[in-house]
Chain A
Amino acid sequence: MTTIDHAGRGEGGFRLSQLLYDRRYRSLTIQAVAMILLVLLVVWLVDNTVTNLSRQGKDIDFGFLGTVAGYDINQTLIPYSSQDTHLRAAAVGILNTLLVAFLGCIAATIVGVLAGVARLSRNWLISGLMAVYVEGFRNVPLLLWIIVIFAVMSEGMPQPRAFRGDDPAASMLLGDSVAITNRGIYIPGVEFAAPLAGSTGWTWALILGAVLAGVLAARVVKKRADARQEATGERPVTWPLRLALILGPAIALLFVFGAGLNKPELAGFNFQGGIHMRNSLIALWFALTLYTGAFIAENVRAGILSVSKGQSEAAFALGLRPGRTMSLIILPQALRVIIPPLISQYLNLTKNSSLALAVGYMDVRSTLGGITINQTGRELEGMLLLGLFYLVTSLTISALLNVYNGSVKLKER
């Protein structure tokens, strides 16, 4: 009876054996089994960790973040003292990581684009030099470059006390405003006589906001000029207006808040005042820039070579000069090849900044992942948080750049 019943239902019927022998269901079965095995493995790993930790008398507890850190950090972008919590120390480290990553990405892009274009130069000397740079930096570990640059700075530059005396062995540059020492470079800083709400940070935020608003306004002006050119063939001169829109409000604000230069001066053991760019920051920034720049140069070169020769020949035939050909014809087409690998170079740079520990730059790896873990013994928690931070940062960078990539990539319709 039952057999007939099954046959009677035809295609709507379902037998357990179909899970294995029917091609429609087999892949589902395999996926389900693989999923179950994976979950079991993860459960076993987590359980193993927890069991072993509890055998050592340890539990997973993030309460240490609220306790007093007790150690000092030299480079702090937000106020911090040794009496603040480990959480704040981690935040100081995160900002230091983001600072060097931001500076590094910008500088590496500039270096990379210049080197990539120069490597394609017909001038044998320039292209040869760039080839040496690219191959030299791409093929030597980053850590070595960081340490070499750091060592050159701390061994080769004068000590602050060499600037002292009637006939000092070293002297400051640019009208006594910049001092290059073996502890870093001291440059003049901007200080406000009457900052907004008594806070320098808020003042800078306001000025930055004014610049951003100026940039937006300038874009509007440019679009209008473009529209006029499209319509009438005449292009109105807009650059003085655009420049004024971008810089005007910011300069006005600087005057309002009584901005002045704060030059570094030798006082006691060190230079005081101004901005102190530490050896560790410079070494890390410089090394990350040159190292990642070498990879970006190759991306740029590949991108430019991917644009067919006919394009530039057509541009020349229209009478465009080489510079305009590059900026109007080649680069826009090359960008769609350059951007995707550029994103991963930015991610690499950000993650490579964790080598900061080698030169004592206090990034998040050195504060949360170094001293805090060492003082509290919370290796697992600290490393989990650290991993989470790098994951979130990388995904954010990648998401932002994907938006940009979407705007420059070849539009297929």
Chain B
Amino acid sequence: MKKTVLLGTVAGLAAGGALAQNSSTLEQVRDRGNLICGVTTGLTGFSAPDANGEWQGFDVDLCRAIAAATLGDPNAADFVTTTGQTRFSALASGEIDVLTRNTTWTYSRDNDLDFEFAGVNYYDGQGFMVPAELGVTSALDLDGATVCIQTGTTTELNLADFFRANNISYEPVPIETNAEAQQQYLAGACDVYTTDASGLAATRATFENADEHVILPEIISKEPLGPAVRHGDPVWGDIVRWTLNALVTAEELGITSANVMDLAAEAGDNPEVNRLLGTEGELPEMLGLESDAFANAIAAVGNYGEIFERNIGESTPIGLARGLNALYTEGGLQYAPPFR
């Protein structure tokens, strides 16, 4: 009798586990009442807690936009810190719903690790930062240098390729997080710090004497950074993809956090604005969202341009130019398919 009860419990647990895995990510998020995003352990401008412990940054805002679109509340987002090594396990195991952690979209991550990248929110490339007093002007001068590098990243592989292709040697110092890398670099335990150029700019902005460090001109790789979700739940992938597209489209159409509520109050002259904000047609409903989902997202964090300028733009200490990340109408690569 007791054994039957035990076996029954085990079977019940197994069935429960299986059921929990079968429900879609959107349902899980709605049942839970919050969205869980994987972010960095701290990269100013992209994802870092501010003085009040509130997460702020470019990637954080994307997460809040998704929370606003799916749950109607940008503050219903929880953040789980991940390192370069733990991020994929966290996503694959379901610990997080979406990875918004300047993660490079590559072929093998998409296909071998079985993730879906829902677009590119920052076009980046790998660069090098060195102390100005070394007098180094090109990455090709770095023969024999000690290089700090975050382990478990694409930059690790690019670095090996770059030095091998140019037939110069280096000493890698593998490091777990950006904060540790920064500390090692400032202590002079390595001559060079390499990561995505945006990350270098963000890190340098936090230095006491930012002028004493230069970012070398070479960009040695393509690093399209974007949000990633698990493979096998296409609707959830579409929600993330189209939330990002909505933010980009909003900038293109001139919808800002200031005017979005007025525009969403009633249908206006521009049909694409109407469709995006849910006053015409049923686009958000096709994904199982409320009609004002994208309007909520834009109201919460602003359009793509606003998010960029507020967190990492030229008016911030990080001071990144739009460059490749300008809208296609302004010579950049940010281009969202039409809301139709």
Contacts and interface: CB of A to CB of B under 8 A. Distances in A.
A74 interface: yes
B172 A72 contact: yes
Given A71-B160, A72-B172, A270-B171, A182 B85 contact: no
B113 A83 contact: no
Contacts of B257: none
Contacts of A259: none
Contacts of A41: 10
Contacts of B170: 72
B232 interface: yes
A360 B164 contact: no
B152 A374 contact: yes
A268 B143 contact: yes
A114 interface: no
Interface in B101-155: 108-109, 112-114, 134, 142-146, 151-152
Contacts of B188: 159, 161, 182
* Contact-size category for B: 35 or more
Contact of A269 (B144, B174, B231): B144
A17 B191 CA distance: 79
A36 B318 CA distance: 63
B189 A74 contact: no
Nearest to A154: B189
Interface in B242-297: none
B157 interface: yes
A360 B174 contact: yes
A90 to B, nearest CB: 15
Interface string A351-385: 00000011010100010001101111101000000
Contacts of B151: 360, 366, 370-371, 374
Interface in B12-46: 14, 21
A272 B172 CA distance: 15
Interface string A35-59: 0010001001000100010011110
B146 A270 contact: yes
Contacts of B51: none
B313 interface: no
Interface string A80-106: 011100000000000000000000000
Contacts of B163: 72
A379 B160 contact: no
11 contacts: A72-B172, A74-B173, A74-B174, A83-B164, A154-B184, A182-B189, A358-B176, A360-B173, A375-B108, A375-B152, A379-B89
Q: Give me the 3 closest cross-chain CB pairs, A-B, nearest first.
A: A159-B188, A82-B160, A374-B152
Interface of B: 3, 10, 14, 21, 84-85, 88-89, 92, 108-109, 112-114, 134, 142-146, 151-152, 156-157, 159-161, 163-164, 170-176, 183-184, 187-191, 230-232
Interface of A: 37, 41, 44, 48, 52, 55-58, 70-74, 81-83, 154-155, 159, 161, 182-183, 267-270, 272, 279, 357-358, 360, 362, 366, 370-371, 373-377, 379
